[in-house]
């Protein structure tokens, strides 16, 4: 580790690594400092049960910007993504033998056939719904790859400067024009509860509940919460191998993605260090960032500091409060980081066999095993009920469960015949009713609830479990630095997006401290393994560096 760089990045989450690669490519000598022993932030592969490799936190890939794949040549650096088709499976608990289930895939005719079991009308409406959402995603796409419009700068400077500043409106105008005459309908999608939007299109509950999961995932919100529509859009904004809205597994787990980005950065000359915890940002006489101090007292000087930590850690822990505007500090403290997510990683000795789609005699994977498997999704009311319990401080008695088995497509993640199961579950309050802590007893009780639910759909599941790793909101905060356990570094509600992320007038990656930039999920455009915040922040920082 050298004593001086042009730029230092705090935290080697995927956004920090992306930022480092772009900074170094622009000719800035860059160092990345990560406090954990592994790179990748929440995008890591960890062997928690011997022989079983888990994507311990984030577990699927779709949102990574196509530009980043190309610019950083991630495939050349070893990234392999395993596409899933079919991609969604919702088995039902019902008094029929066998119970019905809903399987969605990229073959539209087959998907319509599946939907028709529940409603002929919905089967006909589905392609139109997909096209409607697809147009909206295409329109919003340009907003992801540029900083939000700097409204403060619009009326300032010489006439030429003002005209230049108008350029920043381009992505917004592009989006507006693309939405065109349909704008009022799209406005509704952004602001309404997703249940209202889905009720407009469909009548069958299993279909609506399955689609609604994308609108509440990671959010302490119910399908009836206004604005949940945007979160759904955020999750269908990605593409995989040119297929819009598709999600896939990363071969080798999510850590392999972080490794590929790290290799792209190192190949360009960046220095990346694990087990180097930053304890504060160094400030100069004019309150400008001048580097960082590590926990062991080492000073690393730099002209720019980019923080991939959350806004809360960056501004409330790494900077002395008196150096920041009071109003700004208050804004950061008030960011809603409430998160309902408990992630459970499970090692099993055989594939789950669902009543709605029993395994073959040889126990080999069937098409639905590669899917995101949605449990307790018989209807949106169930999701709302699960939310209501958590809002009162009680973990859901019938949680929303998204079960994934990446080892079906990537057998190397587990010993022969065994599998790794990822359970993304909600809703769990970060503070339990009566202020009870999430102790060992509370964590195991909730995990048992989840396992009991799975057992109802797939008898024999509990007997197949070899080991489990339970990550409640406080665990996600402690291990991964996610504020309140929030996987997006702060809720993705409309009042915390675009202009207002992380705080009004600071949405363009710059902060009240000159030379300090935010480059993580707490900045525009928000969470998910997207890389956009890292790339955009690096571009803003490079521009400023040229003027130093």
pLDDT of residue 172: 84
Report yes or no: 68 and 19 within 8 Å, Cβ to Cβ: no
Q: What are phi and psi of 282, to 5 degrees?
A: -80, 130
Give the largest CA-CA distance in the chain: 76
CA 516 to the chain's CA centroid: 24
Indicate whether 393 belongs to any domain: no
pLDDT of residue 110: 98
Name the band, by pLDDT with cuts 50, 70 and 90, for residue 490. very high
Asked whether residue 154 carries a pLDDT value surpassing 80, the answer given is no
Query: Which of 212, 228, 249 represents a domain boundary (last residue)?
Result: 249
Name the band, by pLDDT with cuts 50, 70 and 90, for residue 217. very high
Q: Enter the DSSP assignment of 385.
A: H
Indicate whether 329 belongs to any domain: yes
pLDDT of residue 449: 98
Asked whether residue 214 carries a pLDDT value surpassing 80, the answer given is yes
Query: Which of 232, 249, 266 represents a domain boundary (last residue)?
Result: 249
Asked whether residue 287 carries a pLDDT value surpassing 80, the answer given is yes
Report yes or no: 51 and 418 within 8 Å, Cβ to Cβ: yes
Indicate whether 126 belongs to any domain: no
More confident residue, 97 or 32: 32
Residues 211 and 139 in one domain: yes
Residues 147 and 240 in one domain: yes
pLDDT of residue 211: 97
For 124-191, the three-class secondary structure string (H helix, E strand, C coil) is: HHHHHHHHHHHHHHHHHHHHHCCCCCCHHHHCCCCHHHHHHHHHHHHHHHHHHHHHHHHHHHHHHHHH
Q: Which residue has the tokens 């790859």?
A: 145
Range of the domain at 156: 132-249
Query: Which of 197, 220, 249 represents a domain boundary (last residue)?
Result: 249
Report yes or no: 51 and 414 within 8 Å, Cβ to Cβ: yes
Q: Supply the pTM of this predicted model.
A: 0.96
Crossing angle for the helix pair 183-191 and 194-201, to the nearest 10 degrees:
130
End-to-end CA distance of the chain: 24
Q: Specify burial of residue 131 (Cβ count, 10 A radius: 0-12, 13-18, 19+).
A: exposed
Q: In angstroms, rounded to a whole number, what is the distance separating the alpha carbons of residues 216 and 196?
A: 14
Residues 153 and 240 in one domain: yes
What is the CATH classification number for the domain harbouring 288?
3.50.50.60
Q: In angstroms, rounded to a whole number, what is the distance separating the alpha carbons of residues 217 and 230?
A: 11
Residues 185 and 239 in one domain: yes
Residues 320 and 261 in one domain: yes
Report yes or no: 340 and 429 within 8 Å, Cβ to Cβ: yes
Report yes or no: 492 and 194 within 8 Å, Cβ to Cβ: no
Closest to 272 measured CA to CA, from 24, 524, 534, 546: 24
Name the band, by pLDDT with cuts 50, 70 and 90, for residue 530. very high
Report yes or no: 318 and 10 within 8 Å, Cβ to Cβ: yes
Residues 143 and 218 in one domain: yes
Structure tokens at 323: 């150096």
Per the structure, how many domains does the chain have?
Answer: 2
Residues 235 and 267 in one domain: no
Q: What value does the mean pLDDT take over residues 25-53?
A: 97
Indicate whether 376 belongs to any domain: no
H or E segment and range at residue 207: helix 205-216
H or E segment and range at residue 419: strand 419-426
Residues 137 and 199 in one domain: yes
Residues 176 and 279 in one domain: no
Asked whether residue 18 carries a pLDDT value surpassing 90, the answer given is yes
Go through 31-44 and write b for each residue having 16 or more CB atoms within 10 A of its CB, e for each that does not: bbbbbbebbbbbbb
Residues 203 and 292 in one domain: no
Structure tokens at 20: 């480092």
pLDDT of residue 196: 96
The CA radius of gyration of the chain, in Å to the nearest whole number, is: 23
pLDDT of residue 242: 81
Torsion sign, CA atoms 434, 437, 440, 442? positive
Torsion, Cα of 367, 368, 371, 376 (10° steps)? 180
Residues 162 and 230 in one domain: yes
pLDDT of residue 161: 80
Residues 273 and 242 in one domain: no
Torsion, Cα of 19, 21, 23, 24 (10° steps)? 160
């Amino acid at each position: 580790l050298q004593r001086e760089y042009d730029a230092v990045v705090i935290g080697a989450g995927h956004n920090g690594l992306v930022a480092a690669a772009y900074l170094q490519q622009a000719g800035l000598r860059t160092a990345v400092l990560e406090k954990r022993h592994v790179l990748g932030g929440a995008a890591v592969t960890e062997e928690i049960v011997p022989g079983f490799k888990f994507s311990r936190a984030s577990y699927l890939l779709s949102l990574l910007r196509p530009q980043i794949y190309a610019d950083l040549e991630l495939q050349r650096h070893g990234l392999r993504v395993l596409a899933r088709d079919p991609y969604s499976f919702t088995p039902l608990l019902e008094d029929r033998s066998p119970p019905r289930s809903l399987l969605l895939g990229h073959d539209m005719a087959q998907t319509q056939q599946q939907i028709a079991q529940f409603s002929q009308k919905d089967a006909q409406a589905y392609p139109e719904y997909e096209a409607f959402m697809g147009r909206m995603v295409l329109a919003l796409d340009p907003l992801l790859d540029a900083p939000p419009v700097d409204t403060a700068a619009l009326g300032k400077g010489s006439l030429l400067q003002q005209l230049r500043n108008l350029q920043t409106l381009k992505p917004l105008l592009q989006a507006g024009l693309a939405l065109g005459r349909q704008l009022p309908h799209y406005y509704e999608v952004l602001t309404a509860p997703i249940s209202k939007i889905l009720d407009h299109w469909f009548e069958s509950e299993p279909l609506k509940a399955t689609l609604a999961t994308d609108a509440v995932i990671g959010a302490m919100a119910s399908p009836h919460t206004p604005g949940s529509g945007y979160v759904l859009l955020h999750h269908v904004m990605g593409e995989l191998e040119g297929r819009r809205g598709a999600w896939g597994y990363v071969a080798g787990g999510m850590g392999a993605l972080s490794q590929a980005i790290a290799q792209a950065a190192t190949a360009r000359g960046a220095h990346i260090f694990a087990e180097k915890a930053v304890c504060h940002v160094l400030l100069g006489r004019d309150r400008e960032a001048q580097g960082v101090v590590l926990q062991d007292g080492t000073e690393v000087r730099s002209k720019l500091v980019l923080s991939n930590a959350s806004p809360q850690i960056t501004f409330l822990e790494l900077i002395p409060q008196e150096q920041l505007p009071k109003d700004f500090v208050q804004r950061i403290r008030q960011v809603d980081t409430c998160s309902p997510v408990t992630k459970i990683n499970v090692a099993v000795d055989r594939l789950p066999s669902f009543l709605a789609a029993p395994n073959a005699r040889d126990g080999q994977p069937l098409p639905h095993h590669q899917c995101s498997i949605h449990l307790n999704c018989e209807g949106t009311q169930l999701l709302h009920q699960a939310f209501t319990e958590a809002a009162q401080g009680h973990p859901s008695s019938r949680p929303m469960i998204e079960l994934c088995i990446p080892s079906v497509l990537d057998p190397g993640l587990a010993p022969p015949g065994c599998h790794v199961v990822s359970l993304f579950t909600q809703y769990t309050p970060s503070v339990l009713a009566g202020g009870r802590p999430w102790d060992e007893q509370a964590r195991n009780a909730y995990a048992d609830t989840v396992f009991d639910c799975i057992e109802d759909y797939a008898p024999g599941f509990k007997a197949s479990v070899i080991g489990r790793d339970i990550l409640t909101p406080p665990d996600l905060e402690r291990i991964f630095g996610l504020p309140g356990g929030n996987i997006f570094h702060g809720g993705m509600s409309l009042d915390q997006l675009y202009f207002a992320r992380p705080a009004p007038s600071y949405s363009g990656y710059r902060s009240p401290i000159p030379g300090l930039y935010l480059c993580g999920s707490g900045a525009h455009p928000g969470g998910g393994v997207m890389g956009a915040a890292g790339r955009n922040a690096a571009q803003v920082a490079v521009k400023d560096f040229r003027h130093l």
